[in-house]
Amino acid sequence: MSFGSPNNPYEQPQNPQNPQQQPGYGYPQQPPQQQPGYGYPQQAPQGVPPQQGYPQQPGYGYPQAPQVPASAYGYPQQPGYGAQPPYANWGQRFLGLLVDMLVFVVPYIIAAVGAGTKVWALAIIGYLAVIGVGIWQLIREGRTGQTLGKQAVGIRLVREIDGQPLGVGMAFVRRLAHFLDSIACYLGWLWPAWDAKRQTFADKVCSSIVIRTN
């Protein structure tokens, strides 16, 4: 018994040898397109140029560009970790201190002459000159690392960690710390003669070193 209509032009007769075939609507069915699986190259449609991928970035294992040291750009390498600074010896430090003491001779003589002759104006001028020279030397040492004596013998006072000047405040603290060099029979002043870093006790407290500049 058949429910189909003989007058329906869109109905297709069933194939008795293939009972799974479903009736269509008058249009031939297209076979399903096979999707490309993983690992198989996809075919580009005709007339469309293939797309280029992103350039491959260098991964691990590629040689890296050599690092250029800072000295190649004109910056001097500062004495610090990994570098051996040229420490000033005890003789150079002594000569620098001697020159710094001679700087105070002239204003001190003026102050002494004024006090001895009771010319108090001259004495006051001399004492003010002594104080002024001391402050000027301190500021110079804190900012540049050199007093007149250190500059004359070619040495410089710097921080041990980076080779930069101490600064005025820390230079003043170092001057006070020289008390430690004098309290033990002036042993601290002689300590740079055999110390590995040529430091006095004040230098060790303030983490400072004295290096050669030439």
> CB–CB of 100/137 below 8 Å?
yes
Residue that wins the pLDDT comparison between 92 and 66: 92
Burial bucket for residue 129 (CB in 10 Å: 0-12, 13-18, 19+): middle
> CB–CB of 183/173 below 8 Å?
no
Distance between CA atoms of 206 and 198, rounded to whole angstroms? 14
The mean predicted confidence, pLDDT, of the chain is 77
pLDDT digits 0-9 by tens, 93-144? 999 999 999 999 989 999 999 888 888 898 999 999 999 999 999 999 999 9
pLDDT at position 198: 95
Distance between CA atoms of 199 and 161, rounded to whole angstroms? 14
168-to-95, 158, 174 alpha-carbon distances in Å: 22, 12, 10
Burial bucket for residue 46 (CB in 10 Å: 0-12, 13-18, 19+): exposed
Q: pTM of this prediction?
A: 0.60
Mean pLDDT of 53-75: 52
Residue that wins the pLDDT comparison between 62 and 148: 148
181-to-59, 110, 111, 155, 190 alpha-carbon distances in Å: 58, 30, 28, 20, 8
pLDDT digits 0-9 by tens, 145-169? 999 999 999 999 999 999 999 999 9
Alpha carbon 172 to its chain's center: 27
| Lowest mean pLDDT segment, chosen from 75-89, 120-134, 172-186 | 75-89
